[in-house]
């Protein structure tokens, strides 16, 4: 049976939900019969809709600015950061998912933010300098959550069907024992908890962004609710997300099955890469469902909250979506999207970037640094 790319896109555009399981099952059976390859923990490449092996974007493996960076050890060093001028914007959305409501006016002061997600190479430099041991590497509670594609389309949408807690998984070996980050030095570091991310940020003299700062930066200068950046320009992927049928079929039309090296897709209006897709990013806000509809200046989110589920840790807000977000599941690859993440749990699709609050930077300095 032949399935064309147009037919696949037609199905995806229906935004299949969990309630359309029969349709998903039929689609998967047809796609498998047509020669598609299922994703799997050991998969390194996928068969595309044309039957060819999907390859990363050609210019993405070449050395770029990161390779020529100075060593990042000086506290407050702004190498690799851009300045985002302060201003007001509409935070949240009344047109999307319930947790994004209510849209409200927020003003943020100017700040510096990493132009790219923190990489394995950068995190390794921090660990070498400090001897830091991440949550997932600690003897009292080792391990982290790893996405493992099921061999067939699961019933319902229970996350335990594709998330596996692997005791040997950590940032050094993202898929557990036997895996490594060799060749992934420029990929975003993953399996870092909030505490791990904050430790790295503090070592650089930086902080983690608030949700308001992150969302404002992700808009790239677009202050309104409508028109905020997403993962697609029409039908063309412009960020690393999941094309196909999550969690079993990853066609990788964007060139990447898992994480991508940072900076492989076009930057937003501030010169920031991968704000949408690749990995979710930690913010410092505690998670609550929805926004309070009150105008705010430099909001920091609610005070510490109770766990969302018994026995779990309180959750922070993560932003931007990841390589696992598909049209039929998650689909949170928008600037206003948000999700809770237990603060003490790392996963294979959550990373971070850092900020420096420097309200004294001049407009001239800001303009000079946009895109760097």
Cα(113)–Cα(212) distance, rounded to whole angstroms? 13
Out of 256, 273, 280, 286, the only residue in the binding site for Ca ion (CB under 5 A) is 256
Report the residue number, 243 or 354, with the smaller CB distance to Ca ion.
243
- 270 near Ca ion (CB under 5 A): no
List all residues 6 or more positions away from 113 whose beta carbon is below 8 Å from its beta carbon: 81, 82, 84, 209, 213, 217, 270, 272, 353, 354, 355, 356
- 259 near Ca ion (CB under 5 A): no
Q: How far is the CB of 172 from Ca ion (least distance, A)?
A: 23
Q: Binding string, 313-332, against Ca ion, x = CB under 5 A?
A: ----------x---------
Q: What's the start-to-end Cα distance of the chain, in Å?
A: 49
Q: How far is the CB of 304 from Ca ion (least distance, A)?
A: 35
Report the residue number, 254 or 281, with the smaller CB distance to Ca ion.
254
- 254 near Ca ion (CB under 5 A): yes
Q: How far is the CB of 319 from Ca ion (least distance, A)?
A: 18
Report the residue number, 41 or 292, with the smaller CB distance to Ca ion.
41
Q: How far is the CB of 241 from Ca ion (least distance, A)?
A: 6
Chain centroid to CA 133: 23
List all residues 6 or more positions away from 71 whose beta carbon is below 8 Å from its beta carbon: 125
Segment interacting with Ca ion (CB under 5 A) among 35-43, 62-70, 221-229, 254-262: 254-262
Report the residue number, 219 or 323, with the smaller CB distance to Ca ion.
323
Cα(184)–Cα(54) distance, rounded to whole angstroms? 18
DSSP summary character for residue 59: G
CA-to-CA dists, residue 286 to 90, 100, 213, 310, 316, angstroms? 20, 14, 14, 17, 4
Out of 93, 122, 240, 328, the only residue in the binding site for Ca ion (CB under 5 A) is 240
* Residues engaged in binding Ca ion (CB under 5 A): 240, 254, 256, 323
């Amino acid at each position: 049976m032949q399935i064309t790319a147009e037919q696949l896109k037609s199905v995806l555009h229906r935004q299949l939900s969990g309630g359309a399981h029969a349709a998903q099952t039929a689609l998967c059976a047809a796609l498998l019969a047509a020669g598609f390859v299922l994703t799997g923990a050991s998969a390194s490449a996928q068969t595309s809709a044309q039957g060819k092996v999907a390859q990363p974007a050609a210019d993405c493996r070449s050395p770029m600015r990161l390779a020529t960076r100075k060593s990042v050890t000086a506290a407050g060093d702004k190498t690799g950061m851009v300045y985002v001028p302060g201003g007001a914007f509409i935070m949240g959305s009344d047109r999307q998912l319930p947790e994004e409501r209510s849209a409200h006016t927020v003003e943020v002061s100017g700040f510096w933010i990493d132009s790219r997600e923190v990489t394995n190479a950068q995190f390794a430099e921090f660990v070498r300098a400090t001897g830091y041991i991440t949550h997932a590497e600690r003897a009292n509670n080792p391990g982290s959550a790893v996405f493992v594609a099921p061999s067939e389309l699961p019933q319902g949408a229970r996350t335990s069907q594709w998330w596996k807690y692997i005791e040997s998984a950590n940032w050094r070996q993202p898929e557990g024992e036997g895996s490594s980050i060799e060749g992934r030095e420029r990929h975003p570091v993953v399996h870092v908890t909030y505490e791990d991310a904050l430790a790295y940020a503090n070592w650089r003299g930086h902080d983690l962004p608030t949700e308001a700062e992150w969302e404002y930066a992700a808009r790239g200068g677009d202050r309104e609710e409508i028109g905020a950046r997403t993962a697609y320009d029409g039908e063309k992927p412009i960020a690393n997300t999941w094309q196909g049928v999550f969690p079993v079929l990853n066609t990788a039309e964007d060139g990447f099955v898992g994480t991508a090296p940072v900076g492989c897709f076009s930057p937003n209006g501030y010169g920031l890469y991968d704000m949408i897709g690749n990995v979710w990013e930690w913010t410092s806000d505690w998670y609550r469902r929805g926004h309070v509809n009150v105008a705010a200046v430099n909001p920091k989110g609610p005070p510490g909250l109770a766990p969302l589920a018994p026995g779990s840790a309180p959750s922070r807000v993560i932003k931007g979506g990841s390589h696992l977000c598909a049209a039929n599941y998650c689909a949170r690859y928008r600037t206003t999207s948000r999700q809770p993440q237990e603060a003490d749990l790392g996963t294979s699709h959550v990373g971070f970037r850092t900020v420096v609050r420097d309200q004294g930077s001049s407009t001239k300095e800001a303009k000079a640094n946009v895109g760097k």
